[in-house]
A and B are shown apart, each in its own frame.
Chain A
Amino acid sequence: MSFETDISRIEEIAQKLNASDTSLEESIALFEEGMRLAKALEKALAEAKRSVEIVLGDDPREAEITVLQ
C-alpha cells in the first residue's frame, strides 16, 4: 500500500464518519480502520529508517556505494 492510497482511504473514512446515514456499528469499524491506518502512516513517516550512503571512486560509469560514516 502506498501513502497515497492510505491517505485517500483515511479521508474517505473521515467523510463516511461524518455522514448521517452510516450506522453506529459501521462507524466504529470504520473508525478503527482509520485509526489503524493513521497510526501506521504516522509511524512510517516519523520513523528513522533512511540509509545515508556515499559514492566512492571517480568513474562516472560505475559507482561503488558505501554507508556514510
Chain B
Amino acid sequence: MDNLLATELSVSELTSLIKQTLEQGFYGLKVTGEISNFRPSSSGHWFFTLKDASCSISAVMFKGSTWKVDFTPQEGDKVTVTGGLDVYGARGTYQLKCDTMEKSGFGQILAMLEMRKRHYASLGYFDEKSKKAIPKRPLRVGVVTSPTGAALQDILNILERRAPSLDVLVLPATVQGEGAASSIAKRIQQANNLLLCDVLIVGRGGGSIEDLLPFSEESVIEAIHASEIPVVSAVGHEIDWALSDFVADLRAPTPSAAAELVSQGYLDYRNQVAHLHVQLQRSIENRLLLAESKIRRFDTKAMEARIGSIISAKEYLLANAGNTLVIAQKQLLKSYAGRVELAIRELQALSPLAILARGYAVVQNQEGKLVASRKQAEPGSLLTLTFTDGSRKALVKE
C-alpha cells in the first residue's frame, strides 16, 4: 500500500484492492433504513435499496437468509438489517449484503407491550376468576371488526355452516392505523350500552405487529375489561397475539376459531339430536323384534307342531291302555274257561249217562216216560232201552 501512489494498476487490481478494503473493513454492521425499490427475484433473492432522508445504498439479501424473515418487505417499511459490505467487481458497485432483517422498532414495540401487559396484570385485569362464561348457545353474536375484512367473511361462513339459526350483528370498526383503537373501544361500549348481543367477538385477520397494535391499546383493554357482554378476542393468526387476548373472557387463535367457539353449543345440540334420533329408531326396532319373537311362538306351524306332540303323547298312552285291556280280557277269559271246564267235569260226574257206562240202562215207554216199576211194563208193551252208546227197542214178554 505504501507504494500505491507509484504503482500503475489495472482495473481488476484496483477493484480487488477496493473489495478487500471494503469487505474486510465493513462487516457485522447493523443498519436501519427505509426499503425502496424492492425487487424480489424469481430465484428467491431480494434486491432493494435502503435509504434515509439524504442517502441510499443498494442492498441484497440472498435466498439463504430471506426465508428467516417473517414478513415480506413493502415499499417504505422501516427495517433494521445486519450484514456487511459486498463489492461487485464486474459493475464496480458496492452493496449491503444482509443476513437478517427485522422491522425497525420491533424490539421497542415488544418491550412496550410487555410493560403494558405487566401493568394490567398487576391491576388484575387478566385474572381467571374475573372472566365471564361464554354463553353455550347465544342468540345473537356481535362482531367488532372491519366490515370489509376477510375475518368477517370467515366468521359469517363458519356460523352459517355450524349454527345457521344464530343471528349476527356486525359492529363495524377500523382495525388498523390511526383511530383504530378508539373505534374498536367505542363499538364494544355501544354493544354494552344498548345490549345489542349476548356475546362479542372482537378481532381481525393477520397482519404485522403494528397492524395488530390497536388491539393492545389501553382504550381497547379498558373497554373489554368493562364489558358486561362476554368478549372473545380473535386477533390475527394462531402465532399472533394482542393484549386483548389476555383481558378478554376467552382467547380464540383466529377469527374462524372464535366463530367455532361461539357456535359449539349449537353443533353439540345437532350432534346430540342426531344421536338421539338413531337411538330412538334402534330402541323401537328392538322393541318390535321382542314383540315379534313373542308372537312367533303362536304361529300356525309352531302351534301344529306343539299340538301334534301333545296328541301323539296321548295316542301313545291310549294305545298302551288298549293293549293292557286286551291282555286283561284274555286273562279273564282264560280264567272263565278254567272254571267252565271244572264245572263240566263236576257235571259229568253227576250225569246219569256216566252210570250207563257202568252197565245200567234207562228204560222209557212209548211216550218217553221213565219206567221205574214192573207195573209200568205190561207184558206186550214196547220199551226203549238207552245204553251209554245208543238205544234199542225191547218187547216185554211176561
List the interface of chain A (C-beta within 8 A of B). 3, 7, 10-11, 13-14, 17-18, 22, 24, 27-28, 31, 34-35, 38-39, 41-42, 44-55, 58-63, 65, 68
Chain B contacts for A49, CB-based, 8 A: 164-165
* A50 close to B166 (CB less than 8 A): yes
Q: Is B279 an interface residue (CB 8 A)?
A: yes
What is the distance, in angstroms, from B144's C-beta to the closest C-beta of chain A? 10
**Looking across the interface, which residue of chain A has its beta carbon closest to that of B280?**
A34
- What 0/1 readout, one digit per residue, does chain B (264-298) give for beta carbons within 8 Å of chain A? 00100110111011011101101110010000000
Chain A contacts for B186, CB-based, 8 A: 58, 60
* B167 close to A52 (CB less than 8 A): yes
Q: Is B160 an interface residue (CB 8 A)?
A: yes
A45 to B267, CA, bound (A): 8
Chain B contacts for A52, CB-based, 8 A: 156, 167-170
**Looking across the interface, which residue of chain B has its beta carbon closest to that of A45?**
B270
**Looking across the interface, which residue of chain B has its beta carbon closest to that of A40?**
B273
A65 to B291, CA, bound (A): 59
* B273 close to A50 (CB less than 8 A): no
* B283 close to A18 (CB less than 8 A): yes
A41 to B137, CA, bound (A): 14
What is the distance, in angstroms, from A42's C-beta to the closest C-beta of chain B? 5
* A54 close to B170 (CB less than 8 A): yes
Q: Is B55 an interface residue (CB 8 A)?
A: no
A10 to B275, CA, bound (A): 11
List the interface of chain B (C-beta within 8 A of A). 137, 147, 156, 159-160, 163-172, 186-187, 189-190, 193-194, 196, 266, 269-270, 272-274, 276-277, 279-281, 283-284, 286-288, 291
Q: Looking at the complex, which one of A11, A18, A54 makes contact with B276 (CB distance below 8 Å)?
A: A11
Chain B contacts for A14, CB-based, 8 A: 276, 279-280, 283
Chain B contacts for A63, CB-based, 8 A: 190, 194, 196
* A60 close to B280 (CB less than 8 A): no
Given A31-B283, A60-B190, A46-B170 contact (CB < 8 Å): no
Chain B contacts for A38, CB-based, 8 A: 273, 276-277, 280
**Looking across the interface, which residue of chain B has its beta carbon closest to that of A68?**
B170
Q: Looking at the complex, which one of A13, A48, A55 makes contact with B169 (CB distance below 8 Å)?
A: A55
Chain A contacts for B160, CB-based, 8 A: 48, 50
Q: Can you list 7 residue pairs at the A/B interface with Cβ under 8 Å?
A: A3-B269, A38-B277, A38-B280, A42-B270, A49-B165, A52-B156, A60-B193
Q: Taking each of A31, A39, A41, A60, which has the highest tally of chain B beta carbons within 10 Å of its own beta carbon?
A: A60
Chain A contacts for B291, CB-based, 8 A: 24
Q: Looking at the complex, which one of B189, B196, B266 makes contact with A45 (CB distance below 8 Å)?
A: B266
* B269 close to A55 (CB less than 8 A): no
* A50 close to B170 (CB less than 8 A): no
A14 to B276, CA, bound (A): 7
Given A35-B277, A55-B171, A60-B190, A17-B270 contact (CB < 8 Å): no
